């Protein structure tokens, strides 16, 4: 008698900023999660999460089920495996065209194969038809960097989205490691139930073990670390094969170290077109009323609202005082949404106002929910080109894309070209809070125009330029340094009181602790840098070829690679992650990177694009 097992895998990317594991089944019959293990390892913010689930069909008939894991915005999948009847099969990462060719060939030969692609959204989905009483094990690994915001790093796993039935056995283990003392750990949600053990002040574990567990809250925690030396710290990983170091340089001076923050001239350029009507405009009013209320007295500000035209609250920058704040909040609360989207004219006028900034740092925050369709320029390319030409003062333009109808690639490119970053605001009940939280991360500027140089000269240093450093954040710079006994860094930045040098010399030790995460962080940064360049410049073979090379050698699923899984007669014996060499000698086409970086890791949000793809796989096994 023939027994059949069917598997469908697809990887798509949906707009979510947390992680969840979703299970659905048909005919109101539930596939059971008999056990789930979640293992998380955090090293100086670089995080590898592995989710393993054992699933079972408890019925005497075939049953379909769909599993989805929502990934963090800046995460890359780095491993996927499937265990059937005691045999484990690991996916390979291949260039997309090669994976498609292998998949077509396997289908023609009636072999079992699966191909998994990344797209514009962040949802890993796989559907399974389990035969009666069958048990299958599925494992997914992904990697991300926990960006430091307002002095804290935060990790979240959305356990409440896993399943609507209890999980028979749940084991969650977090290994938390830092080169600095961990000074505070705040548990939220069901992480309050975890057991915490400290090896020392820099290393600890959080563990959660439950039976028949149905979580009512998500698993999340945030932690703070002790302050760095004002000139930063450096961690390295020695590549013995190529006699070089990968380095991880953290620079995060505190407000007190610098004598205060920089005052700013800030303009809020806000969309009030017809598509903003209803709840969106209400959330905008709530968010920016609170933001304006929080402005420090040394700042100056104004507001520009745009629809088919634009209207300025004040053509002059206003000092922050009670009367001006009250008046501005009344103005925001009086607006109605109507008309088209004239994004360019209002943005151009905001730059004209800021030409006369008097010693303060200029900054623009642009929020829109749609596509520009009215005004002097309406195509995204012409808007980008002309705004760059108008921005003589190198004013950072931070963009907020509100909802799903916005062209986020356009906003991302606009910000990247104008010394800033972009942020997706999800249309939900907490949209106002999302806006305020983002503003909090960029509201206090400590440094501007940051330049970083290394001696001896290093290669492939990322990020390549740094516009600003904000209170509670950090700049993490990674690169390659060839054999030397020491590495000197020279950082020059503008502070509230003028230019300042931050110089350090770090000893390089070949026998130090093996920090392989540093190589992976460097590759992660390089890929994101190349993806950012594609966002700005469009697809070029020199860029895409290198992304493919790095993705395959570093084991990352990106927009230009796919996971390929073929069920062979003999199972694969090791994961693609374990095959990755930390000592690859790359020949890059785009030349060495510069020094420094764009502010924060919001840029890591730019990674993936295109549409939902679902690919169907059929597995046949003859059991005599």
What is the full DSSP assignment across 199-268?
EETTEEEEEEEEEEE--SS-EEEEEEEPPPPTT-EEEEEEETTTTEEEEEEEE---HHHHTSPBPEEEEE
Ranked by mean pLDDT, which of 4-8, 160-164, 207-211, 601-605 comes out on top? 207-211
Q: Check pLDDT > 70 for residue 396.
A: yes
Q: How far apart are CA 376 and CA 343, in angstroms?
A: 9
Q: Span 460-482, mean pLDDT?
A: 95
In a domain, 25, yes or no: no
Range with the poorest average pLDDT among 166-170, 253-257, 534-538, 589-593? 589-593
Range with the poorest average pLDDT among 119-128, 144-153, 194-203? 119-128
Q: Check pLDDT > 90 for residue 48.
A: yes
Q: Which is more confidently placed, 25 or 623?
A: 25
In a domain, 553, yes or no: no
Q: pLDDT tens, 149-160?
A: 999 999 988 777
Percent of the chain clearing pLDDT 70 (strictly above): 81
Range with the poorest average pLDDT among 46-60, 104-118, 388-402, 474-488? 104-118
In a domain, 124, yes or no: no
- Give the burial string for 32-45 (b: 16+ CB within 10 Å, else e): bbebbbbebbbbbb
Closest C-alpha among 177, 163, 176 to residue 210: 163
Q: How far apart are CA 410 and CA 382, in angstroms?
A: 11
pLDDT of residue 128: 63
Q: How far apart are CA 123 and CA 73, in angstroms?
A: 10
Neighbour count for residue 342 (Cβ, 10 Å): 22
Q: How far apart are CA 65 and CA 7, in angstroms?
A: 10
Q: How far apart are CA 482 and CA 536, in angstroms?
A: 31
pLDDT of residue 15: 27
Q: pLDDT tens, 549-578?
A: 999 998 888 888 887 777 665 555 555 555
In a domain, 302, yes or no: yes
pLDDT of residue 433: 96
pLDDT of residue 523: 94
Q: Span 350-355, mean pLDDT?
A: 96
Alpha helix positions (H), 294-342: 322-333
Q: Which is more confidently placed, 78 or 324?
A: 324
The single residue listed with the structure tokens 């609170």 is 290
Beta strands in 411-528 (DSSP E): 422-425, 445-455, 459-462, 466-470, 475-482, 486-495, 498-507
Q: How far apart are CA 230 and CA 17, in angstroms?
A: 32
Q: How far apart are CA 300 and CA 39, in angstroms?
A: 48
Q: Are strands 264-271 and 361-368 parallel, antiparallel or unpaired?
A: parallel
In a domain, 579, yes or no: no
pLDDT of residue 225: 98
Using an 8 Å Cβ cutoff, are 518 and 237 in contact?
Answer: yes
Q: Which is more confidently placed, 492 or 598?
A: 492
pLDDT of residue 2: 35
In a domain, 615, yes or no: no
Secondary-structure breakdown of the chain: helix, strand, coil percentages, each rounded to the nearest 5: 25, 40, 35
For residue 314, give its domain range: 264-443
Which residues lie closer than 8 Å to 602 by C-beta, 6 or more apart? 147, 421, 422, 423
Ranked by mean pLDDT, which of 91-105, 316-330, 353-367, 569-583 comes out on top? 316-330
Which residues lie closer than 8 Å to 593 by C-beta, 6 or more apart? 459, 460, 461, 462, 464, 479, 526, 529
Q: Span 577-585, mean pLDDT?
A: 46
Q: pLDDT tens, 311-332?
A: 999 999 999 999 999 999 999 9
Q: Check pLDDT > 70 for residue 341.
A: yes
pLDDT of residue 555: 87
Using an 8 Å Cβ cutoff, are 150 and 443 in contact?
Answer: no
Considering Cα of 240, then 244, then 248, then 249, what sign does the dihedral take? positive
- Residue 102: band (very low, low, confident or very high) from pLDDT cuts 50, 70, 90: confident
- Residue 25: band (very low, low, confident or very high) from pLDDT cuts 50, 70, 90: low
Give how many domains the chain has, as a whole number: 1
pLDDT of residue 111: 59
pLDDT of residue 598: 34
pLDDT of residue 307: 97
pLDDT of residue 575: 56
Using an 8 Å Cβ cutoff, are 480 and 612 in contact?
Answer: no
Using an 8 Å Cβ cutoff, are 610 and 4 in contact?
Answer: no
Q: How far apart are CA 326 and CA 334, in angstroms?
A: 12
Residues paired with 7 in a beta bridge: 128, 617
Q: Check pLDDT > 70 for residue 164.
A: no
pLDDT of residue 572: 56
Q: Are strands 475-482 and 459-462 parallel, antiparallel or unpaired?
A: antiparallel
Q: Check pLDDT > 60 for residue 361.
A: yes
- Give the burial string for 353-364 (b: 16+ CB within 10 Å, else e): bbeebeebbbbb
Q: Span 102-128, mean pLDDT?
A: 62
Mean pLDDT of the chain: 84
Q: Check pLDDT > 80 for residue 36.
A: yes
Neighbour count for residue 622 (Cβ, 10 Å): 8
Q: How far apart are CA 564 and CA 161, in angstroms?
A: 27
Neighbour count for residue 259 (Cβ, 10 Å): 10
The CATH number of whichever domain residue 313 belongs to comes to 3.40.50.410
In a domain, 200, yes or no: no
Cα separation values, 517 from 127, 144, 553, Å: 32, 11, 15
Q: Which is more confidently placed, 297 or 619?
A: 297
Q: Span 286-300, mean pLDDT?
A: 97
Closest C-alpha among 288, 266, 284, 469 to residue 364: 266
pLDDT of residue 254: 95
Using an 8 Å Cβ cutoff, are 434 and 441 in contact?
Answer: no
Q: Which is more confidently placed, 315 or 513?
A: 315
pLDDT of residue 112: 52
Q: How far apart are CA 187 and CA 184, in angstroms?
A: 10
Q: Are strands 361-368 and 397-402 parallel, antiparallel or unpaired?
A: parallel
- The phi and psi torsions of 477 (rounded to 5 degrees) equal -115, 130
Q: How far apart are CA 159 and CA 21, in angstroms?
A: 7
pLDDT of residue 548: 94
The DSSP code sequence of 541-593 is HHHHHHHHHHHHHHT---TTEEEEEEE-SS---S-HHHH--S------SS---
Q: How far apart are CA 446 and CA 263, in angstroms?
A: 9
Q: Which is more confidently placed, 600 or 395?
A: 395
pLDDT of residue 301: 98
Q: Check pLDDT > 60 for residue 583.
A: no
Radius of gyration of the chain measured on its C-alpha atoms: 26
Using an 8 Å Cβ cutoff, are 55 and 125 in contact?
Answer: no
Residues paired with 452 in a beta bridge: 491
Ranked by mean pLDDT, which of 18-32, 36-50, 105-119, 207-221 comes out on top? 36-50
Q: Check pLDDT > 50 for residue 391.
A: yes
In a domain, 369, yes or no: yes
The single residue listed with the structure tokens 């009636």 is 110
- Residue 130: band (very low, low, confident or very high) from pLDDT cuts 50, 70, 90: confident
């Amino acid at each position: 008698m023939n027994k059949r097992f069917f598997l469908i895998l697809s990887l798509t990317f949906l707009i979510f900023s947390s992680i969840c594991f979703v299970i659905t089944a048909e005919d109101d019959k539930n596939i059971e999660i008999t056990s789930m293990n979640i293992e998380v390892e955090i090293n100086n913010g670089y995080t590898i999460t592995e989710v393993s689930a054992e699933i079972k069909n408890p019925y005497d008939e075939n049953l379909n089920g769909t599993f989805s894991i929502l990934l963090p915005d800046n995460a890359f999948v780095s491993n996927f495996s499937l265990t059937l009847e005691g045999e484990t099969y690991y996916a390979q990462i291949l260039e997309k065209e090669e994976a498609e060719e292998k998949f077509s060939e396997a289908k023609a030969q009636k072999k079992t194969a699966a191909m998994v692609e990344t797209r514009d959204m962040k949802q890993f989905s796989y559907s399974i038809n389990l035969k009666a009483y069958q048990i299958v094990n599925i494992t997914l690994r992904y990697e991300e960097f926990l960006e430091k915001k307002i002095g804290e790093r935060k990790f979240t796993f959305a356990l409440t989205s896993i399943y609507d039935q209890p999980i028979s056995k749940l084991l969650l283990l977090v290994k938390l490691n830092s080169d600095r003392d961990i000074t505070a750990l705040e548990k939220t949600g069901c992480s309050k139930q975890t057991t915490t053990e400290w090896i020392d002040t820099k290393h600890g574990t959080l563990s959660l073990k439950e039976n028949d567990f149905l979580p009512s809250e998500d698993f999340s925690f945030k932690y703070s670390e002790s302050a760095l030396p004002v000139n930063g710290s450096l961690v390295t990983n020695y590549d013995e094969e190529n006699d070089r170091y990968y380095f991880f340089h953290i620079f995060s001076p505190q407000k007190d170290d610098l004598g205060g923050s920089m005052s700013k001239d800030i303009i809020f350029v806000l969309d009030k077109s017809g598509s903003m009507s209803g709840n969106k405009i209400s959330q905008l009013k709530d968010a920016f009323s609170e933001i304006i209320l929080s402005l420090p007295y040394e700042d100056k500000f104004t507001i520009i609202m745009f629809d088919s035209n634009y209207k300025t609250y004040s053509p002059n920058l206003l000092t922050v005082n009670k009367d001006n704040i009250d008046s501005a909040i009344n103005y925001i609360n009086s607006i109605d949404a109507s008309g088209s989207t004239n994004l360019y004219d209002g943005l151009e006028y905001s730059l004209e106002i800021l030409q006369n900034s008097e010693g303060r740092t200029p900054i623009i925050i642009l929020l829109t929910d749609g596509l520009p369709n009215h005004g002097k320029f309406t195509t995204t390319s012409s808007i980008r080109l002309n705004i760059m030409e108008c921005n003589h003062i190198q004013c950072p333009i931070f963009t907020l894309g509100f909802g799903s109808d916005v062209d986020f690639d356009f906003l991302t490119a606009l910000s990247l070209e104008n010394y800033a970053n972009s942020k997706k605001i999800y249309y939900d009940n907490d949209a106002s809070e999302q806006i305020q939280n983002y503003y909090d991360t960029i509201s206090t500027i400590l440094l501007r125009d940051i330049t970083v140089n290394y001696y001896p000269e290093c290669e492939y240093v990322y990020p390549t330029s740094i516009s600003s450093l904000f209170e509670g954040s950090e700049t993490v710079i990674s690169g390659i340094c060839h054999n030397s006994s020491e590495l000197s860094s020279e950082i020059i930045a503008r502070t509230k009181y003028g230019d300042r040098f931050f110089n350090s010399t770090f000893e390089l030790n070949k026998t130090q602790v093996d920090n392989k995460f540093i190589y992976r962080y460097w590759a992660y940064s390089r890929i994101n840098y190349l993806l950012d360049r594609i966002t700005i410049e469009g697809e070029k073979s020199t860029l895409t070829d290198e992304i493919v090379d790095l993705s395959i050698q570093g084991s990352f699923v990106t927009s230009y690679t796919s996971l390929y899984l073929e069920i062979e007669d003999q199972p694969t014996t090791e994961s693609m992650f374990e095959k990755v060499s930390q000592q690859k000698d790359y020949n890059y086409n785009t030349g060495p990177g510069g020094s420094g970086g764009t502010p924060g890791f919001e840029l890591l949000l730019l990674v993936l694009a295109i549409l939902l793809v679902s690919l169907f796989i059929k597995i046949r096994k003859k059991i005599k």
